Amino acid sequence: MDQVSWLRRRKPGIKDARKREVPDGLWRKCEVCGEIIYHKELERSLWTCPKCGYHFRIGSTQYRDILADPGSFVELLSGIESTDPLGFVDSRKYTDRLRDAKEKTGLSSAVLSGSARIEGRLVMLELLDFGFLGGSLGSAMGEKIARLARMAIEERVPLVTLASSGGARMQEGILSLMQMAKTSAMLARLHDEGLLHVVIQTHPTTGGVTASFASLGDVIMAEPGALIGFAGPRVIQQTIKQELPEGFQRSEFLLEHGMVDVVVHRKELRATLSKVLEFFSDDSRDEAEDTLDQARKQGL
Ligand SMILES: [Zn+2]
């Protein structure tokens, strides 16, 4: 993460404490303020720094535990995995990279998809995982996202997407880019069916993922300080040859400019999501209609 801009916004002139060495395991050092945090405490604070609020990057299973009611998540579509249609090799074989990512994360692809309950409400939930090849959008992810959206349509339940991605899966070339169109088309159907899609953008949400499904939410929430954009700040700066504004492409900046609806601390994610689901649910619509009916009857 670009810590400099985070620091600037949080506390001007703070000393960079990154030189302090910490043994692995029991303790973690905050990448921003240098605070040494006991592992258990970090877990309790949902991997956010108790001192400065910095949000550590976490994986899809951690987000699953934060968002879904305990034990309610049922994984779906886990059999859909990436293949290597181009026989792609850069410094390493794509198939080797895939195998390593699977071993490292225990996931079959860069998105964990399933059904879950959030404070009792049934949703389709998909969680991107940056730890799996940068959460990049390949054909497997595209297929899983399109199919989960279709399941949400069939079941008439909301779809919740947690985004965390560096963008398109370069190793799949044009096939990766096609996933942007595929996922967007299926989400358009979800929208036509009058069903809710909530997106939570986390650090980082960039490239083709931002340019497709991660921006196609009816409600877009973002974690504080997350980098959200299409091209990175350096590329933009080099292209337009102009100094970029303070906090450019961060959640708070996007909130100010209308691209994000609400910036939510990780500890509040579940409660906020639940409120949004309730607000758009049929029973709250029924309630609102009842209130309106009563008001009409009373001649108000
Ligand atoms: Zn900190």
- Write the pLDDT tens digit of every residue in 221-280: 999 999 999 998 889 999 999 999 989 999 999 999 999 999 999 999 999 999 999 999
What pLDDT score does 12 carry? 47
Q: Enumerate domains of the chain plus CATH numbers.
A: 1-56 (no CATH), 58-280 (3.90.226.10)
The 3-state secondary structure of 229-290, one letter per residue: ECCCHHHHHHHHCCCCCCCCCEHHHHHHCCCCCEECCHHHHHHHHHHHHHHCCHHHHHHHHH
How large is the average pLDDT for residues 70-79? 98
Report the distance separating Cα 210 and Cα 201, nearest Å: 9
Q: What is the mean pLDDT of the chain?
A: 92
CA proximity to 181, closest of 139, 219, 234, 150: 139
| Cα 236 to middle of ligand 1, angstroms | 29
Nearest to 277 by CA among 119, 170, 95: 119
* Cα-to-centroid distance, 278 and ligand 1 (Å): 33
pLDDT, one tens digit per residue, over 1-12 is: 445 455 455 544
Q: 143-153: per-residue pLDDT in tens? A: 999 999 999 99
Ligand 1 geometric centre to CA of 48 (Å): 8
In this prediction the pTM is 0.88
CA of 85 relative to ligand 1 center, distance in Å: 43
User: 108 near 81, Cβ under 8 Å?
Assistant: yes
pLDDT digit string (tens) for 92-117? Answer: 999 999 999 999 999 999 999 999 99
Q: Could you list which residues have their CB under 5 Å from ion ligand 1?
A: 30, 32-33, 35, 49, 51-52, 54
Distance 36 CA to ligand 1 centre (A): 8
Nearest to 100 by CA among 147, 59, 146, 132: 132
Q: How far apart are the CA of 159 and the centre of ligand 1, in A?
A: 33
Q: What is the Å distance from ligand 1's center to 33 Cα?
A: 4
**Rounded to 10 degrees, what is the CA torsion of 166, 172, 177, 179?**
-90
Report the pLDDT averaged over residues 148-169. Answer: 97
